[in-house]
Amino acid sequence: MSRGPAWLTGIGEAEVVGDLPASLTAVCYDSRRVETGCLFVAVPGATPRSRDGHEFIDKALAQGAAALVVQADHRPAWERLAESGRVPLVVVPDSRRALAPLSAAFHGWPARRLRVVGVTGTDGKTTTAHLVAAVLESAGRRCALLSSAELRSGGRARVNATHMTTLEAPEVQAFLTEALRAGDQWAVLEASSHGLALHRVDACEFDIAVFTTLGRDHLDFHGSLEEYRAAKGRLFRLLGEAADKGVRKTAVLNADDPASDYFRGLTAASVVTYGLEAPADVTARDVHAEGLAMSFELAGPFGAVPVKTRLAGQYNVYNCLAAAAAGLSQGLSVEEVGRGLESVSGVPGRMELIDAGQPFSVVVDIASTPQALANVLGVLRPACRGRLWAVFGCAGERDPGRRDGMGRVAGELADFVVLTNEDPRSEDPDAIIEAIAAGLRESGRREGDDFVRTPDRRQAIAYVFERADDGDVVLLAGKGSEQTMVFGEEHVLWDERVVARELLELRMQSH
């Protein structure tokens, strides 16, 4: 490719048609956000239900796009433009892959001036990301955070209201730029399998890659467990492609998860392991539950320190160890790491207690996989003196294999279940609920005696609150800190924590 404008650097193989502008006002993949002087990147749909960005080329031009990036195998969509010379084009083999370096170049490659941690895994990503950020902050390293729960830069946090664990590349690169301007030195990013497979975190120049767990999930998108694992493996491959920033590139691996051997084979970076069962560099001794909290001794060749975390369950001990391993790999002291772990009082929408003075406990958690639901219910059972209630559904257009699995888990571990809506999207809500109910029946539960269906989520929560009694525990699972519920293409405002408080206050007034 001939030498072009600065924003074209790093894109790889490309054919340029016409004279490209020397500068841009923005890099966009959504035609609704195009502005005058913008580069519009026409990205194919990520799923069969997604729209293809090549369908919106004319709209992007009408709104002022100064140049287009198009995919070579979509020639019918852009050939007439190439022939007319109406707009300069950049023709690439994969426009989605090109989106990240284009976004990074537009922003001046911000990740090359930050130290960046990526966290991937089926469960535990969000909590681990928050813990890593806390550990770094405890040692005086100013740290930005981009998780499915919140975006934080310069010490200021805002809710992640996108329903996306990993944002699209232009938003990721804009966030990293924001973090730099706010004076942050590090950034911690959740790297979902979708985000990795769709190249959203390319050009993030990772210095540390953290793996939590691997279970069955998102097979509707990836097709097989092997492809799902390979998508997560891209984070460890990216370590080898990242810029040298004077820190030790490190892969942090869960020694108790067999998938770690696979990820170890994908990188030449240093490896630090953590775990509770297999030999590991970072481990925990004398692990004890203290209500909805945990205490343990963080231990390894670096020494030992007692830790009391306000996060519940053994799975959160694993998350603490992962974060500790990340911090220790960069030379932090075990005391700094311990202080960082203890500083985290909770993560939004993760085992979050809702207290309005009611005689029973209410917990909101994002748990949306069978293993995550089992983890949370397993933690709540010892804290329950009465009945353990679970209110949940399953998201539409997501791995349908979750549904009966979550039903079986709830049937085995909860006393009573209320099945309800959770982002059905374009799918039939009743069909989703029936798939979960099938799992409940497989576990020996009977409808009417052990579970009911109440599709309206507000009514489902109210149903349980009216029946819960002193000593009961109510789990509201699946939504966490999300800010909307999705029906078809409509996003309806919904904050589970706000709704729970409203309904609890109504109950308190009526009793």
Angle between helix 95-106 and helix 169-181 axes, rounded to 10 deg: 20
Place of tokens 């982002």: 423
User: Sorting pLDDT into bands at 50, 70 and 90, what band is 2?
Assistant: very low
Q: Which residues contact 212 (CB under 8 A, 6 or more apart)?
A: 119, 120, 121, 122, 123, 124, 125, 128, 254, 318, 319, 322
What pLDDT score was predicted for residue 399?
86
Residue 298: phi, psi to the nearest 5? -75, 125
Q: What's the rounded Cα separation, in Å, for the pair 408 and 73? A: 45
- Cα–Cα distance, 209 to 248 (Å, whole number): 11
Our CA angle for 253, 217, 219, nearest 5°, is 120
Domain ranges of the chain: 6-105, 108-342, 352-510
Percent of the chain having pLDDT more than 90?
A: 90
Residue type, 360: F
CATH of domain 108-342: 3.40.1190.10
- Residue-wise pLDDT for 409-460, tens only, equals 999 999 999 999 999 999 999 999 999 999 999 999 999 999 999 999 999 9
Task: Please say if the pLDDT value at position 371 is more than 80.
Answer: yes
Q: Can you tell me the distance from the alpha carbon of 361 to that of 499, in angstroms, rounded to the nearest whole number?
A: 15
344: alpha, beta or left, given left = phi > 0 and alpha = psi -120 to 50? beta
The string of DSSP codes covering 37-83 is: TEEEE----SSTTSPPGGGGHHHHHHTT-SEEEEEGGGHHHHHHHHH
* pLDDT tens digits along 38-70: 999 999 987 767 789 999 999 999 999 999 999
Tokens of 47: 């799923």
What CATH number does domain 352-510 carry, 3.40.50.2300, 1.10.3080.10, 3.90.190.20, 3.40.50.720? 3.90.190.20
- Strands 208-211, 186-190: pairing kind: unpaired
CA distance 177 to 102: 14
Phi, psi (deg, nearest 5) at residue 470? -55, 130
| 375-389 pLDDT per residue, tens | 999 999 998 999 999
Using an 8 Å Cβ cutoff, are 118 and 235 in contact?
yes
The pLDDT, as a whole number, for residue 48 is 65
Global model pTM greater than 0.85 = yes
Q: Is 343 exposed, middle or buried (CB count within 10 Å of its CB: 0-12, 13-18, 19+)?
A: middle
- The residue-averaged pLDDT of 235-247 equals 94
Nearest CA-CA partner of 486 in 432, 443, 439: 432
The model's pLDDT over 160-183, given as tens digits with 9 standing for 90+, comes to 888 777 899 999 999 999 999 999
pLDDT value of position 290: 87
Closest Cα to residue 340, out of 353, 327, 352? Answer: 327
CATH number of 6-105: 3.40.1390.10
Q: What is the pLDDT of residues 388-398, one digit of tens each?
A: 999 999 999 98
